[in-house]
Amino acid sequence: MLLTMKSKKAYAIIAFLLIFSLIFSACSNQGEQTKNGADDGKSAEETAANNPIPDATNAILQFNPPKLEDAPEGPLGDYIRWGYDMIQNTQETLPEYVGNKLSCASCHADGGLNISASPLVGSTTANPQYRPREGTVISMEDRINECFKRSMNGKPLDTNSEEMKAMISYLSYISTDMPVYGDIPWRGKSPMKIEGITPNIEEGEKVYTQSCLACHAADGSGNGPLTGPALWGENSFNGGAGLARLSMLAGYTQKNMPKGAMGGIAQGELTDQQAVDVAAYILSQARTLYEDYDKDFPSGGMPKDWFYHPDHEHPDNPASNK
Ligand code: HEC
Ligand code: HEC
């Protein structure tokens, strides 16, 4: 049958009305079902208790990561335990990837479970993430390898290696129940505000001699990755590491050092000024250059306090004018 223009139009209108009424009735049916569901003999209280609405306003997240000894038996548990061992004892377990005398736990103390020492609880639910330093979205594997290349002054793991899988298994395990891309209150809390504090390297040296030297050695070379890791020189992190930032090193030190009381100062007792002074003293010493430093921050925005090298030309670098 041939349709005229007029009847085509009429069919189109009828079809439209039909579809519209179908959608409308579907919606109102759904509404009724919900109403019936809530009404099926249960009191409002019972309904709420049996099927609670997740509490969206609960902003307080407990720092209560699962313990290693509670990791499951079997292959996954084996990977989790192996991952922990590599993060704690990186020197011994992955010597070919480590270019200094540090372990991951030299900074991420207690296998990343120490709340004040750049904890790794929630790291797997925060990645992939966009980072201005890399100028792109980086994966969890990339994030781990950034610490290998910079903080460990070493080589990246093969992203698909068994070692990488084990590390991520462990980090995922300790991130159990963390919200994906959620606000995790202890993440990114290492840096302190350094605006308005003028670093004094000589005062920093005094603090160092008094409260740090016993564990980290007079020449900064340390006495072991888990007893007093290296703070400068070839045994330490290179200039591309996060701790090569004055705000980061000062903040980390103030929260965590000295480990126990030393020279009349206990952990957490350094003043802002003392923390900045001792960090400036440490960053004024020689350290390995991060070779790819000119590839960082491809779109600009390099923090002013990132001293890739003591000689790094920067007006704010307390050491560059020496
Ligand atoms: C010299 C110190 C140092 C060492 C050694 C180190 N890291 Fe880090 N790492 C840091 C700092 C500092 C941060 C940033 C923390 C912050 O912003 O508060 C970080 C961040 C991370 C993050 C991201 C955490 C998050 O929530 O986004 C991961 C994952 C990580 N490190 C893994 C490792 C692994 C694995 C190793 C060993 C191969 C390692 N790190 C060695 C200092 C270090
Ligand atoms: C009693 C020994 C001891 C004293 C004193 C001490 N540290 Fe540490 N430090 C450690 C240990 C052990 C670690 C490894 C991480 C951990 O276990 O908390 C560490 C880690 C560090 C790190 C991160 C790892 C690295 O190599 O970069 C920095 C930075 C640091 N200490 C700075 C200082 C400063 C600055 C002082 C003085 C204000 C100081 N420490 C005093 C024992 C000590």
Instruction: For residue 159, give the CATH number of its domain.
Output: 1.10.760.10
Per-residue pLDDT of the chain (322 residues; tens, 9 = 90+): 444 444 444 444 444 444 444 444 433 333 333 333 333 333 444 444 555 565 445 456 888 999 999 999 999 999 999 999 999 999 999 999 999 999 999 999 999 999 999 999 999 999 999 999 999 999 999 999 999 999 999 999 999 999 999 999 999 999 999 999 998 989 998 999 999 999 999 999 999 999 999 999 999 999 999 999 999 999 999 999 999 999 999 999 999 999 999 999 999 999 999 999 999 999 999 999 999 988 999 998 888 888 776 555 555 566 554 4
Burial class (CB within 10 angstroms; exposed 0-12, middle 13-18, buried 19+) of 5:
exposed
Would residue 238 count as lying in a domain? yes
Would residue 89 count as lying in a domain? yes
> Ligand 2, residues 226, 259, 273, 288: which to mutate, most atoms within 8 A of Cβ?
259
Would residue 1 count as lying in a domain? no
**Total domains present in the chain:** 2
Ligand lying closest to the C-alpha of residue 224:
2
Q: Which residues of 223-238 are buried (b: 16+ CB within 10 A; e: fewer)?
A: eebeebbbbbbebbbb
Would residue 81 count as lying in a domain? yes
CB 105 within 8 A of CB 85: no
Ligand 2 atom 28 nearest Cα: 253
CA of 257 from ligand 2 middle (Å) equals 6
Reading the block at residue 130, the tokens are: 């966009």
CA distance 144 to 184: 19
Ligand lying closest to the C-alpha of residue 119:
1
Predicted pLDDT at 195:
92
Would residue 285 count as lying in a domain? yes
Would residue 304 count as lying in a domain? no
Predicted pLDDT at 32:
33
Predicted pLDDT at 43:
42
Would residue 60 count as lying in a domain? no
Strand pairing partners for 233? 287
Predicted pLDDT at 304:
84
Are both 219 and 266 inside the same structural domain? yes
Would residue 75 count as lying in a domain? yes
Residue span of the structural domain in which 97 resides:
68-174
